Amino acid sequence: MTAEILVQAMVLGLLQGGIYALVAAGLTLIYGVMKVVNFAHAEFLTLGMYLAFSAYTLLGVSPYLAAVFALGLVFVLGAAVQRTLIRPALRHPQINQLLITIGLSTMLIGAMQIIWGPRNYVVPLPWGRATLGLGDLRVTYTRLIAFGVAVAIAAGFWVFLKRARGGLAIRAAAQSPDAARLMGINVERVNLVTFGLGTGLAALAGALIAPVFFINPTFGIDYFLLPAFVIVVLGTMGNFVGAMVGGLVIGLAESFGGLLLGAALRQFASLAVFVLILLWLPRGVFGGRMT
Amino acid sequence: MSTLLELERVTKRFGGLTALDGVSLRVGAGEIVGIIGPNGSGKTTLFATASGFLRPEDGDIRFDGRSIVGLRPSRINALGLARTFQIVQPFAGLSVRENVVIGALRGGRETLATARRIAAEVLDLVGLSPRAGQPAGNLTLPEQKRLEMARALATQPKLVLLDEIMAGLRPAEVDQAIGLLRQIRGRGVTLVIVEHLVRAVLALAERMYVLHHGSLIAEGRPDEVIHQPAVVEAYFGTTDGSPARA
């Protein structure tokens, strides 16, 4: 095994990890604010991929422009889902919320199958296979763009959480909903916006990776749901920065795992990390909540 | 003196338990009103109902001339009624400054710059400025109680409901807190204090209500109220010399 292969694996792992980070960021945000575990999260990513696909093949719109619309569209859809399915369940036991999001996942997969069919699609960008070469290292531009935009969006969102009024309201509601209400914060609206943003970010990530992967109705649940959960737990449920770092860690773990054990077992490494964390650091690496 | 907060025959039940039984009281603008009563007499329920966290089954609550029954807590706060929690509920992972800035934003009606300025002022007032950069979870209990106060004040309220902010404080800290509350009232903020510590209420309140089993059993000037037989009985058992109930 040569050093070039290791470097290649590391770069690919980081590139994948950036996307994981953005997807997990939305998931951890929703959990942090509402304490709802959204099992339908990956379907919003798949939906973002299909939206980018249809925008490109039907309208000739670039997937990267479509990503913006996917964010907006799925924000509205996510908010509607929160209002109709999640909000009424917030007062009920967590198992009810769990079953609702699992049901939602099944429904969304079915709906996408009806609309787009079960076959695999690709977004046939003319330069989709073009690569950037640095010595022996080869990376497609599509992956580089997806990574760059995902990391920039996640960083921008972090600044929003830290610095903006809306971000402060979200963090306050996550820490103590009752106290937030007393501070004049409309926690119901914060919940609505947070769910819309979290699912919207997943759709945005989906649109960004639409030119990289095959698109089918179960793509998200097959390849992103499990890593996203591992990352959220690794980075401490509800911790935004934890999700960022965890995303990169799991991206690397999968990449090196695939290298050592073969592509079919690539998730073995990340699941091993997951099990070890649950055994030894059940509260995640970052301890406290949403900092 | 104009009436700021008025409860009229407010009743709150939890299943078969009547936590508030037709409670009527009024608080004038600029007053410090004390509410005392033994454990389980309904003091915290009274605050939770007035601040919109619980909805009364019966009766009316008016604040600043309008009925606030059925309004959301955030809406009631926006009208100028703030409340602190008996069990402190800081945004533990956020800094002390951020905690107060969130209050000062008043649900987004102030700009961030204004909110920061107000927060700095209030932190100065309660003496937490040196701790402003710390995570709120790192504060000691007395400091967290002052943070509760600071957050409530930062929302620029007309009236603050203070729920047991002296509980767990040492005597010297109680004296400090009493001084702080006088200062706050001096700024024109009306205060309603629920307190286990009768000494603090006697030192501060101009008028006082006594709650027992969800009903008001006495009201008036503190030094008068405290000696009324019904009050003595509620606290110590019957006045005829039989043993007090715990």
Asked if A182 and B107 come within 8 Å (Cβ–Cβ), the reply is: no
How many Cβ atoms sit within 10 Å of the Cβ of residue A268?
A: 16
Find, in chain A, the residue whose alpha carbon is nearest to that of B100: A183
List the structure tokens of A92: 């009920």
Helix (H) or strand (E) holding A144: helix A141-163
Domain spanning A3-280: CATH 1.10.3470: yes
pLDDT at B243: 47
- Note whether residue B242 is domain-resident: no
Min Cα distance A64 → chain B (Å) is 33
* Strand duo B190-194 + B32-36: pairing: parallel
CATH at B108? 3.40.50.300
Q: Which of A26, A34, A78, A73 is nearest to A196 (CA)?
A: A78
Task: Tally Cβ neighbours within 10 Å of residue B91.
Answer: 28
Q: Tell me the two tokens of residue A223.
A: 């390849």
Burial class (CB in 10 A: 0-12, 13-18, 19+), A31: buried
The answer to whether residue B74 sits within a structural domain is yes
Give pLDDT, residue B230: 81
pLDDT digits (tens, 9 = 90+) for B70-112: 999 989 999 999 999 888 889 988 999 999 999 999 888 899 9
Residue B246 lies in a domain: no
The angle at the Cα of B88, spanning B84 to B92, to the nearest 5 degrees, equals 120
Residue in this structure with the two tokens 């095994």, named with its chain if needed:
A1
Cross-strand bridge partners of residue B83: B161
Q: Confidence band (pLDDT; 50, 70, 90) for A291?
A: very low
Tokens standing for A156?
A: 């921008």
Our count of domains for chain B comes to 1
Beta bridge partners of B8: B60
Dihedral angle sign, alpha carbons of residues B156, B160, B164, B167:
positive
- Put simply, the answer to whether A175 touches B92 (Cβ < 8 Å) is yes
Write out pLDDT tens, residues A149-196: 999 999 999 999 999 999 999 999 999 998 999 888 999 999 999 999
CB pairs A-B closer than 8 Å:
90
pLDDT-derived band at A1, boundaries 50, 70, 90: low
Instruction: Report CB contact under 8 Å: A184, B152.
Output: no
Instruction: List CB contacts (< 8 A) between B151 and chain A.
Output: 179, 182-183
Q: Are A170 and A194 in contact (CB under 8 A)?
A: yes
Residues of chain B with pLDDT under 70: 1, 238-246
Q: Residue B122 in contact with residue B101, Cβ under 8 Å?
A: no
Cα distances from B100 to residues A286, B42, B77, in angstroms, run: 25, 29, 15
The C-alpha of B186 sits at a distance from chain A's nearest C-alpha, in angstroms, of 23
Using CB atoms, which residue from A164, A175, A181 is nearest to B94? Answer: A175
Can you give the pLDDT at residue B196?
79
Q: What share of chain B is helix, strand, coil (3-state, %, to 5)?
A: 40, 25, 35
Strand B81-83 and strand B159-163: the pairing is parallel
Share of chain A above pLDDT 90, in %: 70
Query: Which sign does the torsion angle of CA B180, B186, B189, B191 carry?
Result: positive
Q: Do A178 and B53 touch (CB under 8 A)?
A: yes
Q: Inter-chain contact B101–A168, Cβ cutoff 8 Å? A: yes
Query: How far apart are alpha carbons B185 and B14 in whole angstroms?
Result: 34
Average pLDDT of A253-262? 89
C-alpha span between A274 and A280 (Å, rounded): 10
ipTM of the complex: 0.79
Which of the two residues, A267 and A147, has the higher pLDDT score? Answer: A147
Query: Chain-wide mean pLDDT for chain A?
Result: 91
Domain assignment of residue B150, given as a range: 3-236
Q: Which residue has the tokens 């603090």?
A: B200
Specify whether the CB–CB gap between A255 and A19 falls below 8 A. no
Of B53, B72, B103, the CB nearest to A183: B103
pLDDT at B245 (0 to 100): 45
Q: What are the residue boundaries of the structural domains of chain A, listed by start? A: 3-280
| Three-state secondary structure readout of B50-83 | HCCCCCCCEEEEEECCEECCCCCHHHHHHCCEEE
**Residue A289 confidence (pLDDT):** 47
